[in-house]
Structure 1
Amino acid sequence: MPFPFFGDDKSTIAKLLGTLPQQGRIEWIGLRPVRREAMQVVAEAEAETDRHLLGDHARPRPGGKRQITLIQHEHLAAVAGFLGLPAPLDPARLRRNLVVSGLNLLALKNRHIRIGNEVVLEITGECHPCSRMEEELGPGGYNAMRGHGGLTARIIQGGIIRVGDGVLVLAPVAAS
């Protein structure tokens, strides 16, 4: 069933941008308990509404646009390929919180997604690579990650996120 369209029915681009029938899946969850230390791989994590993942060192302010980070599972193999490394890369090396498969995350900017039965995120922007990618992946790591660094999100509704949870794109909220 096609994704419901909301907006100007005369705009072909608006229709195309609104068509997101795919569903994704949480493949991996990681927490950064201490800055610059190894990631902690977990089977589930609690997302605190308008804050962060509990157990992660990041303490974004309420209303912040970078409360949680996501990366596309399919990009792990692409980045490995650019660097001649075995695919897929271990997601812990890239320091994102959630790895999502089955959805083109870049198509979700400014959209809301539901993870499992509880958690709702607003996708707020791209999560650009930093210079640490050279340290972690070797020469060229920064450039290999460009366009593949993932996204940032705000936690609209908290709850438990589990590996294996479905990821569903929600219908846009109508402007009033």
Structure 2
Amino acid sequence: MLLASQTHRYNGRPGDGPDPAIGRELHHEIEVRAGLGIVGDRYFAEAAHQRFSVTVMAAESLERLAEQLQLPEVPHAAPTRRNIILRGADVDSLRGVTFSLDSGDGPVLLLGTTPANPCAWMNEMIAPGAHQALRGHGGMRCEPLGSGWLRLGAAVLRSSAPIGPA
């Protein structure tokens, strides 16, 4: 999944529901720009978010959550508000790691900076208990060190550090 949202959407109390989406949020491709973030995203070119403008999460985190909370199906990743969902990598171990993602148009270089901790909105948007279940598995905030395009589908993750399965 690739998500770029023009608005924050999770404002106020979770029980009041999210703000409406402006424009399309899920994309088949996104453009990442070094030092700026994802073109069209709410954090693009925001100085305060420069080192945290791209968020990455493992699909396995949602599968683990569904099992832990005994949900009838794995929840969609969009409510997590993470920009990029990957499968087969321990995303939560990327802190301090420089890595690249290449979905066919050349590598996009990222630096894992801090954990993307889940918020209380997860209980409202996914299921009761999701906030706690995603702690330690909410993904990683990343600084874009390189520019390029990422497309939906298979991608290659490369890193000098070992990044095993989630």
TM-score w.r.t. structure 2 length?
0.79
Tell me the distance in 2 between the aligned counterparts of 1:62 and 1:115.
24
Q: Is the Cα contact below 8 Å between 1:125 and 1:152 reproduced in 2?
A: yes
Corresponding residue pairs, total: 145
Tell me the distance in 1 between the aligned counterparts of 2:156 and 2:82.
17
Q: Which residue of 1 aligns with 2:136?
A: 147
Amino acid at match of 1:53: I
* Secondary structure at the counterpart of residue 55 of structure 2: strand
Q: Which residue of 2 aligns with 1:46?
A: 31
Which of the numbers 41, 56, 68 marks the counterpart of 2:41? 56
Amino acid at match of 1:32: S
Amino acid at match of 1:58: Y
Is 2:111 aligned against 1:122? yes
Amino acid at match of 1:161: L
Q: Which residue of 1 aligns with 2:150?
A: 161
Tell me the distance in 2 between the aligned counterparts of 1:129 and 1:63.
17
Ranges in structure 2 where 5+ consecutive residues have no aligned partner: 10-19, 162-166
Displacement of 1:75 in angstroms is 1.2
- State the percentage of identical aligned residues: 27
Q: Is the Cα contact below 8 Å between 1:80 and 1:88 reproduced in 2?
A: yes
Equivalent residues in 2 for 1:13-162, closer than 5 Å: 28-36=1-9, 37-38=20-21, 40-59=25-44, 60-61=46-47, 64-116=50-102, 117-162=106-151
Ranges in structure 1 where 5+ consecutive residues have no aligned partner: 1-27
Displacement of 1:108 in angstroms is 2.1
Render the CA deviation track for 1:146-171: whole Å, top value 9, x for unaligned.
11111110000011011124232332
Displacement of 1:67 in angstroms is 1.0
Amino acid at match of 1:81: E
Q: 1:159 to 1:141 in 2, by over 3 A?
A: same
Tell me the distance in 1 between the aligned counterparts of 2:49 and 2:62.
29
RMSD: 1.9
Q: Is the Cα contact below 8 Å between 1:111 and 1:169 reproduced in 2?
A: no
Displacement of 1:142 in angstroms is 1.1
**Structure holding more strand per residue:** 1
Render the CA deviation track for 1:22-74: whole Å, top value 9, x for unaligned.
xxxxxx11111222144711110000111111111124317832110010011
TM-score w.r.t. structure 1 length?
0.74
